[in-house]
Structure 1
Amino acid sequence: MVKAGIILYEHTEPVGWAATDSFIFTAFSPPASLPPHTFTIYISYDNTGPEHRTVLLANSGAVVAEGSRVTIDKSKLDASNLLGKLPEEERHSYEIWYGVTILPHYGTIVVGERNLTREKPNFSQFILNKYGITYVHDDSETTSDIFHFDVWLNHKGKPTQRPQDTDLMVSESFNITVTPVNDQPPFFKTQAPGLRVVKGDSVALGPENLQVEDLDTLPEDIHYTVISKPKNGFLALEGSLNESTVTFTQADVNAGKVYFVQDGHPTSGIFYFSVTDGFHHPLYKLFNLEVDNVTITVVNNTGLSLVQGQTTVTLTLQHLAAVTNKKNMTIKYHVTSPPSHGRLMIMDEVAICFDQDDLRLGKVSYHMTDLSSSQDSFELALLTAESNLTNQEVNITVKPLIHLGDHVRIADGVPVKLRKDVLDATELASISASDPIFEIIIPPKHGKLVKAAYGLGGPSQAVQSFSFTDIEQGRVAIEEHINFTAIYDNATAVRQNVTANVLNDSFVFLLKATNVQPAKGEFVYVVLPYDPKTGKHIIAETPVQPTRNPSVDRMPDAVSSMNHPSHTHPTTRPHRIPPKTRSRHRWGNHTRSRSTISTAPKSTLGKHDEPPRNPPVRVESLPRPASDPLLIILPFLACLLLIVILVVLTLVFRHRREKRAQPAMIPDIPENSGEDIIPHSPYLGQPERSLTVPSVVVTPLTPRCPVNPVLEAMHSAALVPAMAPPDSPLLLCTWTPVDHASTHQCSPATPTLRQNQYWV
């Protein structure tokens, strides 16, 4: 019996708020038995549970009809058991008061002749016991309401207020159930019920197609009846799409359980129906059924792309995809025009027809066989059982295998070299074992590409093509010419960086290499204003469009095209050059020059405003012709002076060499001075007489005095004129050796020259 749960304890004697009860029992099973045991029962109003959810003596709630009123009395709400918390001798000094903390939402509580408000929310248990309170519903289409209250013990004779001791106060809520009254007729929420359906398809009706509302009737109680069936299909319930139905509810429509099954006829149709809530007169309406033909829509046709050197690519749904407006429809792709420079393959066979599953599984691929073109294409026709879509072209593009610099900045008016860090075709040169060639298809809009010419002062020449080796050697540059002053119509503001902006420019090129496909690419850069008066470049913070790089860019932050000198690798950090060493771009300077561009103009108005910090731009430019003629003439004069100095030095050195060679060229004079010395001189050759040089006959004053010091000093000089051929008409003086005796006859003094006589 205990296990069956039929043994109960019933509390009959009145007690306070809490009490204790017990009984003594024993248990036995012959021949064994238990000694007596005491079973204790704790009695309290706090012992709430599923069958008793309140601590009050009564809190059962109330039921009221929609738009009516109900009285709440002691039988529905009683808190007199709170007095059990006090000693019995004190209970007569207290009374029970209620205070409504949250008023009902859809009704009003009336106490006597007044309505409870937030300012006056209190009533007592005495009023409930003698008169009761009234709940008045506001006739809204609601099914429930509730109000919350506090109940406490208040000392008689004292103002009514909540106690500080929460043990003497209880907080609960009172539930009110509203019985709806069917006083509202149903009405159509969809003014024009209808449905569009694809030919031969089945579509579920929803609230957006058909919806009737009744404020006091549930959707399950709103019934539809088909009076006239449609001519192009039938209505059916979910799970029985092959069986026609003529009755359903609004709940079925809301749950998507009502279907219209189109029978394949292309014509539209209608059906006539009625709807009622079972209490008011039914409503009648027409439901329109419009039929659409099966159509195919291409939702994805991005084309294919190959990188230079790549000849195969897989065609997937990410490149080509189509859908139809009919469910469970298979789409076939038929190749109507094959590729011109390759072929489509499914596995190892040429693809003529394939479907969505082949694209989803990646079975279709394109193979380029002709490497002379930078693009290809093929045409498709998309077919279903009931429709088709033709002339769908899929483009195939070859992307250049090049790494382009991002956010490249070019100074205006200065030829700026293109370095390897912004146009890097190293990988292409490696796989093709050749020097890639850049052919300019579309030149820059505001400038041109130039190549440095060799020689002193040689001007740069515009080019239509260049090689990757030219890039590596720093021979290719961009020269922009933009009239920023005309654009912004304020030269002073441009210099002070007030309204200066930057402009985007680009050029399109065709990149070629041996044994790979050519590919088109575009190099995008930003042109910075340049002030020729101050020699500074002006930078304005303007969003820069990224360079359109067909391949993966490995230069994430190429600030400018001159971040690295010509002899460094792109990954090598360049040495910073102080501003004092900024070079001028003239003919006389054929070295690569870099100038750090200042981006912080000074403020001259009021306090010194710190300008916004902009990253410096390094400019490496080619030599360019100067605008000052003196800078052309002065180098020319310097070169001419240098040539003159070289000629003079050459003549001086030759003269000195000849003087040093003369003693060695003349042989020693023999003792017999009368002997001819010319045949014994192999260096001088046969002398010739010059008609322009006068001949001089030298007559010695004392021919027999060879020891004369004057003659002795002129002995060497007189030897060369004495060398003449034997048949010379000149009278030559032959110097012969003298004896010692004759020496005493000669005058030791130097002979005196007569008038008009000179030593020769």
Structure 2
Amino acid sequence: MATAERTKQAISSGMLKAVTDENGDEIRYSLQKSPRRGRLIRQIQGNQFEEITTFSQAELEAGNIYYEHQMPEEPFWVVRDSLQLQSSSPSLPAVLLPITVSFSAADHNVSSQLWKNKGLDVVQGQSKVIDRSRLDASNLLASLAEAERSTQDVLFKVKEFPTHGRLTLAGVDITQDAPYFHQEDVDTDALEYQHDDSGAPSDSFSFRAWLNPHGRGPSSPPQSALVMEEIFRLNVRPRDSSAPELVSLDLLLEVLQGSTEVLSKQYLNTIDEDSTPDEVRFKVLKSPTNGQLVNTDTNQQIKEFTQEDINAERVAFVSDGSLSQGFMEFTVSDGKHHTTPYTLHVGILAHTLMLTKPQEIFVLQGDDQTPITESMLRASTGGPIEEEVLYKIASTPKYAALMVDRQTTHAFTQKQINEGRVSVRFVTSTSPRDSIPFLARSRAANVSSVLNITVKPLAKIAKDPLLPRGATVLVDGQLLDATPLANKAKTLPTFTVIQKPKSARFVRMKGQGEGEPVNTFTQKDLDDGLVALEILNNTGKQADADAKDEARLLLKAHGVPPAECVLPFTTAPYSPTGVYGARVIKTPTLPDKKGAPPRRPYGPGQTTASPNSGSRKTPVVSRRGNLWSILVPILIILLLLILAAVLAFYLVRRNKTGKHNVQTVATKPKNGDVSQETFRKTDPANNIPMSSIDGKEADPELLQHCRTTNPALKKNQYWV
């Protein structure tokens, strides 16, 4: 099949025909290999087509199946193509249909055999360049072997000149005496048509084109040469027939703060076929408030300029250094028509980006993620309207990951931070910290920094407790407690000493290895009281002063990242009455005041501060002392109690054995119990006065009935 370029060629039954298959069914074809320089299409109706991969023999015979050639980017003269089809009958082999596309093929639908011959629209009385997009005969060179193309040029000869204008070559008229020009002249925009301002609506010129040896003057083509003869048509439009049209797609001019930006055709470009660029004028109705328009040749402020000024880059905007936004309102006119006002917005880009020093971000052990807030990370351009700031991770983190909406990312914006959508988490459980370098970037500025991320221990740690020198204190929940981590991780946490304190050491208590230094212990060891902190005695010049110290430990648990714990504490000389932030289980040796041998009190004699007394400033009061300081007050109290008991007994005895004037009770209490009063006072009127008896006047007979001694009283007997 042979066809011309840019055409649709029907595939006839003479090229491809089969009646029925073995079963008597109609043959159908399917496309096995598509053409490389075109496509297989089916006519639906009229001028409507669709691309297909299968069709029937009936559709082919009806003339509805076409091959459509598609023009490549590079010129050619003859090109080969093909399509491979497979029929529905298994007994028939695949069919290969060769296709030849050539500019030499005659076709009434093709107006030109050149690569391009599109004609030209020109305004009455004006000139216009005939460029390569309108006239191109490069396909003549493509008819040669590639090695021969560099030795030939495409030569044009004007046969009939324009009736209502003239052709010029580099400003010089093309005449009957020298009617030649080359394709190279067209490629360099040297060929131009100038209309004579007559009222004719159209014009044209005819020419012949052939290949001429490179470097040789114009000569007639040889008899066997390939010669194309065609007409170039010119359409003349009346002047001022239409208003200028603004075709700029970008009506936002962005200028760096304090700088100058040229207004190019990207921002201000018009189309007016019947006016020249110097006739199209821009008039500024409202000037921008954040700068001014100037002519770059004079540096003077301007209010009007032409499209020619824009094309020559003679108009620029000068920023006044502020960060405020502005706009320019203008109209376009060709002298006869005026457009409605347009607006060109002027945005100022900050030349600096201010980054607040990023805070260290702490991720609590066991937490799935930690939000990054604006207070942790913020960059600003400082203007009334903040530019969008983009953060880009410079290198992939080793242990942590940054996320947006819980999805790992390598870039995020300040807006996403402000909306609470950015977070961080540790993805590996091998390090307690990570550093992430990043670049913060606005439209015109950037700044780099590092985001430090640290695991925060999920444990209770005493805050600078006071500990006595020379003593041993128990390391329990009062100093370290990782129970919250154990509850969350459902596993046993482990402490590992990574930096020993200068004035103390961790030792094991009870069992094998008691008193030996220990560098690793578990939360269970703390709960069982198996770990103590032995405070060394300071014998230097500062022995009587308080000293700061700390221990650093790594807290680990399965499935969570490790965290570094810092246990700060203060050491001071031991005092029996001191208040300390831990339970003292062993005290240092104390010298006697009078030089007696030193004594070491142990164990129960010690009292400790309350579990909440980790600070020296707010202790819970409790008295400590040695054995004697406790026993002496107790003995004194016991002695006073004994004296009080003796005195009370004496007073009670005295009251019971005194003189009473009572009357005996008639009945005797049962079993010696006194359920009611056994005596009562007598009426004073019935009292018998007592009188002393003189021995001389006593009756002898009476005296013999009186007792001289008191007989012993039995139980519950009283004198009356």
Into which bin does the TM-score normalised by the smaller protein fall? 0.3 to 0.5
TM-score after normalising by structure 2: 0.35
TM-score after normalising by structure 1: 0.33
